[in-house]
Amino acid sequence: MPTQFDPRIHLAYSPPESHITMEDLGKVGEGIAPIGITQPFPLLSEEGVLALREEVFSRHVLDRCTHTSDLAPCQIRGMSCRSGFASFNESFWTHPETLRAVSEAAGIELIPIMPYELGHTNVQLTFGAETLSKLGREPLRSDAPVASKESIVPKIIPGFNNLPPLVPSTDSDTESEGEADLLSPVSTEDKKTEPTIAEAAGPASQEPEPEKDEHKPVVGWHRDSYPWVCVLMLSDATTMQGGETALACADGTVKKVRGPQMGWAIMLQGRYIDHVALGAYGAPERVTMVHLLS
């Protein structure tokens, strides 16, 4: 029997300790609220994460709701466009207590967009085409952390947007990044660098290895279709490196916000801010749920 959402069991909300404003990003007068993005904050309990994962990675959802594109190589979306098809996801994102929590975090009253947009899920293809077959109720966990490394912000892709190329970051959780030898965003030498689904694995007896290029973005540079987005981490991030959200400032610099822990979320005014979900490494999976609001 499917788990029924219960906010007393499955919610663990606590407000974010800080945020970055639209003014901080050089976007005074843009957007519908002063806050641009929050720091990560707790939203779901461990029980809530496990129940959500069990539903998202169920066979009936994967068979009907898995999508791929140049922008995002693996998304699970549309699972709640039919009432009762993914009842936990639907109840979680439409419950008054959930809406109260995300509205308080964003500093503005928010409501869901439509059933189709209730919690679509982005999956980093750590094991290529075999990744989804490895995911389920329990997160994949790594035995030990890897050495800390730099997250690389991908360059602009001609035809996708107007941003200048973006530069490597410093080590702080949230930082501005200066200019460095900027190339034209429409240079004919720029190559499309969006990730694609890896080729099918070899013989069944071979265990697929994690992807070598940890700098591939999970979702490339974009703006969202609707004003606000809640990004919820569904993976164990204990050993995870990278995985930040990078934001383009009006002056061509970049700010990065560290990725959330499992069950934690960030609120982002994604309709008005160019942003990218950076790839993660040091962990066998990176699964985030993205919920659009207005």
Q: In Å, how far from its chain's centre is CA 194?
A: 16
CA distance 107 to 250: 22
Q: What is the rounded average pLDDT of the residues 31-55?
A: 98
CA distance 108 to 36: 12
CA distance 15 to 177: 27
Tokens of 184: 């034209």
- Exposed/middle/buried for residue 22 (C-beta within 10 Å: 0-12, 13-18, 19+): buried
Place of tokens 């207005």: 294
CA distance 19 to 255: 12
Mean predicted lDDT score pLDDT of the chain: 81
CA distance 55 to 121: 12
Write the pLDDT tens digit of every residue in 118-130.
Answer: 988 999 998 998 9
How many angstroms separate the first and last alpha carbons of the chain?
33
Q: Is the pLDDT of residue 166 over 80?
A: no
Give residue 110's identity as a one-letter amino acid code.
L
Q: Is the pLDDT of residue 133 over 70?
A: yes
The residues near 194 (Cβ < 8 Å, ≥ 6 apart) are: 70, 71, 73, 157, 217, 220
CA distance 254 to 153: 9
Q: Is the pLDDT of residue 234 over 90?
A: yes
Q: Specify the pLDDT at position 1.
A: 75
What does the DSSP 8-state code read for residue 11? B
CA distance 209 to 147: 19
Q: Is the pLDDT of residue 253 over 80?
A: yes
Q: Specify the pLDDT at position 281.
A: 87
What would the CATH number be for the domain defined by 18-139+151-191+210-293? 2.60.120.620
Q: In Å, how far from its chain's centre is CA 193?
A: 18
Q: Among candidates 246, 240, 224, 245, which has minimal Cα distance to 291?
A: 224
Enumerate the domain spans of the chain: 18-139+151-191+210-293
Q: Is 105 helix (H, G, I), strand (E, B) or coil?
A: helix
Q: Is 49 helix (H, G, I), strand (E, B) or coil?
A: helix
Q: Is the pLDDT of residue 261 over 90?
A: yes
Other CB atoms within a 10 A radius of the CB of residue 14 amount to 11
Q: Is the pLDDT of residue 22 over 50?
A: yes
* pLDDT bracket for residue 184 (50, 70, 90): very low
Q: Is the pLDDT of residue 163 over 70?
A: no
Angle at 154 (CA atoms; ends 150, 156), nearest 5 degrees: 155
Q: What is the dihedral of CA 231, 99, 138, 195, to 10 degrees?
A: -20
* pLDDT bracket for residue 219 (50, 70, 90): confident
Q: Specify the pLDDT at position 153.
A: 53
Alpha carbons within 13 angstroms on the beta-carbon side of residue 8 total 0
Q: Specify the pLDDT at position 226.
A: 94
Range name among 1-10, 82-91, 98-107, 152-161 with the lowest pLDDT average: 152-161
Place of tokens 């992807």: 211
Q: Do 293 and 269 form a contact (C-beta atoms < 8 A)?
A: no
